[in-house]
Amino acid sequence: MNNIPKPLIHSFSGTIFGILALLALTGPAQSQSNQPEEAFVKDGHYTELEQVQPVQTGDKIEVLEVFWYECPHCYRLHPVINEWLKTKPETAEYIPMPVYFNPERNEFSARAFYTFEVLDKLDPLHGMMFHAIHDERRPFRDKEDLAAWAGQYGVSGEDIINTFDSFAIDSKINFSKVMTRQYGITGVPTIIIDGRYMTSVSHAGNHENLIDVINFLIEKARQVRLELGK
């Protein structure tokens, strides 16, 4: 067997000990930087709004759905949201908001929704409006048509007509106009979580994933509120 010169052995040993010492120093720092991966990805399953928007729900996490009655995707999402409402986190509150891109497309739909809301008739009229448009193919040309239809559900047609063009509805319409712009809405249905996060079926991939993303963002928003001391 060839003998290895002692100086070479000492040099080799010193190198090994140096590498081990370096690993000992760098190992913990690397492990600390490895944060747990989130279940859903920003700019994939959801996006963050450029500016945080005000909410209407006080201590509750706001889950706001931007919708349009004539939208078939909103119609298909409606029963999914209704099922989620049965088991939604207690920390969250759901609010629907009609989209307002322009008066030609969205004025009637938005006024109809807010009329139901002011008259405290969202149940049953909100869901039945989707049914009338998409299942019955019922045309609504004006507030008189809406009043005649609402009468089937025990709602006063006179109340519908008197409320439809009222100042209270005008104020709510203006709110929808402003918030549609502020949220940067480009399509419906869109879900806004606590004025911070935006998601949709197209972001999530399907209805089931959307519900999971909503619940994930509710918890994320709750943690943000805790950090901010709200």
Domains in the chain, start-ordered, CATH in brackets? 42-99+185-230 (3.40.30.10)
Predicted structure pTM score = 0.84
Q: 134 exposed, middle or buried (CB, 10 Å; 0-12, 13-18, 19+)?
A: middle
CA distances (Å), 153 to each of 61, 62, 107, 158, in order?
32, 30, 23, 14
Q: From its phi and psi, is residue 205 left (phi > 0), alpha (psi between -120 and 50) or beta?
A: left
Tell me the pLDDT tens digit for each residue of 144-188. Answer: 999 999 999 999 999 999 999 999 999 999 999 999 999 999 999
- Per-residue confidence (pLDDT) for residue 85, from 0 to 100: 98
Of the candidates 125, 132, 120, the residue with the CA atom closest to the CA atom of residue 150 = 125
Amino acid at 118: V
Which stretches in the chain have pLDDT values below 70? Answer: 1-37, 230
